[in-house]
Amino acid sequence: MGNVIFGMTMSLDGFINDRNGSVARLYPDLEGLGNTESLQEAMRTTGAVIMGRRSYDMGNGDFTGYEFQNPIFVVTHHVPEKAAKGENENLKFTFVTDGVESAIRQAKAAAAGKNVTVVGGVSIAQQLIEAGLVDELQIDIMPVLLGGGLRLFDQLGRQVELATTKVAQPGAVDGRIELQFRVVK
């Protein structure tokens, strides 16, 4: 059975976007990031994806060429009226309106033993961590201090013990440092 893996990039001071909501400083080389061994491995081992509605909306309704060609479960209160572009036989969107536990159940069933990857979304991350539904955290640190914005772990209501499983700097890709942790349960 695969793991539930949450991944996100943040600044050294813990922000996932700047005061204006921009993520540009955290992703200066998206093409280079897409070619890293870590992302290629994630794409090979992922059977389903969970994302929050804000992350879905960042795609502006077009997921043509999206790196994860798997079923995607979007946790939301409101299902969008228009279907996203880019759906195909592998990439299908399901909008989950009854919470993160339901999204995890559906994604695990769709993943067929592979990992469930959770992409983006502070709210989704916090809800899943609070509910004890995350097995691994993959946090990339960018060498920048944003000084303000939205923090990734600001509102956690409980302490979570982690065991470090990887620390790497994947070559020349924008100075990013990859950290991976197993959630101790």
Q: What is the pLDDT along the chain (185 residues), one digit of tens a residue?
A: 799 999 999 999 999 999 999 989 998 876 666 667 787 888 899 999 999 988 888 888 788 888 899 999 999 999 988 878 888 889 999 999 999 999 999 999 999 999 999 997 888 999 999 999 999 999 999 999 999 999 999 888 889 999 999 998 876 667 889 999 999 98
| pTM of the model as a whole | 0.90
Choose among 168, 167, 169, 165: nearest CA to 182. Answer: 165
Amino acid at 168: A
Choose among 122, 125, 92, 126: nearest CA to 110. Answer: 92
What is the rounded end-to-end Cα distance, in angstroms, of the chain? 17
* pLDDT the model gives residue 172: 60
Given a contact cutoff of 8 angstroms between Cβ atoms, the answer to whether 61 and 41 are in contact is no
Amino acid at 144: V
User: Domain limits of the chain?
Assistant: 4-183
* pLDDT the model gives residue 55: 85
Q: How many residues does the chain have?
A: 185
4-183: CATH class: alpha beta
